[in-house]
Amino acid sequence: MKKMICITCPTGCEMEVLCDGNKITVAGNRCPRGAAYAESEIKDPRRTVTAVIHSANGKFQSVRTNKPLPRPLIPGLLNTILQKVYPEFEPGAVIISDIEGTGVDLIATGPAR
């Protein structure tokens, strides 16, 4: 049995997750998103990544992944994007599409400033 806190919303349900072979049983979640999170956390833990990238003209721009990214890929993504200077993007524009074949995109969240 594994204890975990659901990070899907600010409620933060404390869940008890039981893994029996391929079968995962979740208790303590107040909505279905908790069960989905628990399953993903066991099989393929993912996080939404947010960062600030260098834009042209000495500006900075905030970015995020449009979906949670597998945790093992996070350091590599940060390492790549923090060492480059990018052109300015409109908020919402895709900066990197399909990161490492995961189907996850990096998008701009705010104006360059």
Partner 1 sequence: MKQINCDVAVIGAGGAGLSAAAAAAAQGKKVAVIDREESCGGVLCQCIHNGFGLRYFNEELTGPEYALRMERCARESGAEILLGETVGAVKRNSDSTFEATLYSVANGVSKLNTKAVVFATGCRERTRANIAVPGDRSAGVYTAGSAQKLMNLTGMLPGRRAVIVGSGDIGLIMARRCRWSGIEVAAVVEILPEPSGLPRNIAQCLRDFDIPLLLSHRCARIIGRNRVEAVEIENLITKERFTYQCDTVLFSVGLIPENELLKSMGVAMNPATGGPCVDGSCQCALPGVFAAGNSLHVHDLVDFASIEARRAGMAAAEYASSGKLPEAAAVVACSKTLKYAIPNKCVPGTACEFFFRPTVSCAKAKLTALADGVGIAQKMCVSVRPAEMLAMKAEIPANAAKVQFHLEECK
Q: Which residues bind partner 1 (CB under 8 A)?
A: 4-10, 12, 14, 47-52, 54, 60, 62, 64, 71, 74, 78, 82, 91, 109-111, 113
Alpha-helical runs (H) found in the chain: 32-43, 74-81
The residue among 49 and 104 lying less far from partner 1, judged by its C-beta, is 49
Backbone angles phi, psi at 60, to 5 degrees: -130, 150
Q: How far is the CB of 21 from partner 1 (least distance, A)?
A: 26
Q: How far apart are CA 109 and CA 23, in angstroms?
A: 38
Q: Which is nearer to partner 1, 23 or 113 (CB)?
A: 113
User: Can you tell me the distance from the alpha carbon of 105 to that of 90, in angstroms, rounded to the nearest whole number?
Assistant: 15
CB of 35 to partner 1, least distance (A): 16
CB of 63 to partner 1, least distance (A): 8
CB 70 within 8 A of CB 99: no
Angle, alpha carbons 47-102-74 (nearest 5°): 40
Beta carbon of residue 10, minimum distance to partner 1 (angstroms, whole number): 6
Given the complex with partner 1, which of 7 and 19 has the nearer CB atom? 7
